[in-house]
């Protein structure tokens, strides 16, 4: 099973016009929900670009941030198995397996973090079972959309909606079979 876990703006972007990702609001309720979701994963799944961002922060997060979410998640990130899909990366540290194609993913319970390109590829192959879209109270006015030019219409079923910390809305969709 693959769950796509993504933070997006109200206007549907996962990063701003200049690649900025400084806008997600990680309050205590959202942080707890995030930890619950990541705790159920066999491994975390990344594309190359998100991997570069994550691997530059989480190994030393306690030296960079004092946010309670970061302090709690950093040791989980370091210990959990990770998979990176990349045609250019050959190896990665931190308990990470590199595969060159989504076709090499196993039957693990994976949580895909962000990554519009990999998410689009997995969506086209029908490999994402669930989309957890956290909508944050910001309008970015441009940037990278959550869903990159889908090749075909994707019919989803809303299975859950929740509000966290009075400002972030989770929309959980499953793929219709």
Instruction: List the domains of the chain with CATH numbers.
Output: 25-175 (3.40.430.10)
Per-residue pLDDT at 153: 82
Which pair of structure tokens corresponds to residue 104? Answer: 């090499």
pLDDT per residue over 40-99, tens digit each? 899 999 999 999 989 999 999 999 999 999 999 999 999 999 999 999 998 898 999 999
Q: Per-residue confidence at 148, pLDDT binned at 50, 70, 90?
A: confident
Q: What is the pTM assigned to this prediction?
A: 0.91
| 13 class by beta-carbon count within 10 Å (0-12 exposed, 13-18 middle, 19+ buried) | buried
């Amino acid at each position: 099973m693959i769950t796509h876990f993504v933070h997006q703006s109200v206007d549907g972007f996962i990063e701003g016009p200049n690649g900025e990702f400084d806008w997600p609001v990680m309050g205590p309720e959202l942080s707890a929900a995030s930890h619950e979701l990541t705790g159920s994963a066999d491994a975390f799944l990344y594309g190359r670009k998100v991997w570069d961002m994550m691997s530059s922060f989480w190994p030393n997060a306690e030296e960079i941030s004092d946010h309670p979410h970061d302090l709690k998640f950093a040791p989980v990130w370091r210990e959990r198995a990770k998979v990176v899909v990349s045609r250019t990366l050959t190896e990665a540290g931190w308990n990470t397996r590199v595969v060159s194609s989504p076709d090499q993913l196993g039957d693990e319970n994976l949580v895909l973090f962000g990554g519009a390109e990999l998410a689009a590829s997995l969506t086209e192959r029908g490999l994402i079972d669930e989309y957890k879209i956290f909508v944050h109270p910001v309008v970015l006015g441009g940037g990278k959309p959550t869903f990159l030019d889908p090749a075909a219409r994707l019919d989803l079923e809303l299975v859950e909606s929740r509000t966290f910390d009075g400002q972030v809305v989770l929309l959980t969709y499953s793929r219709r079979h």
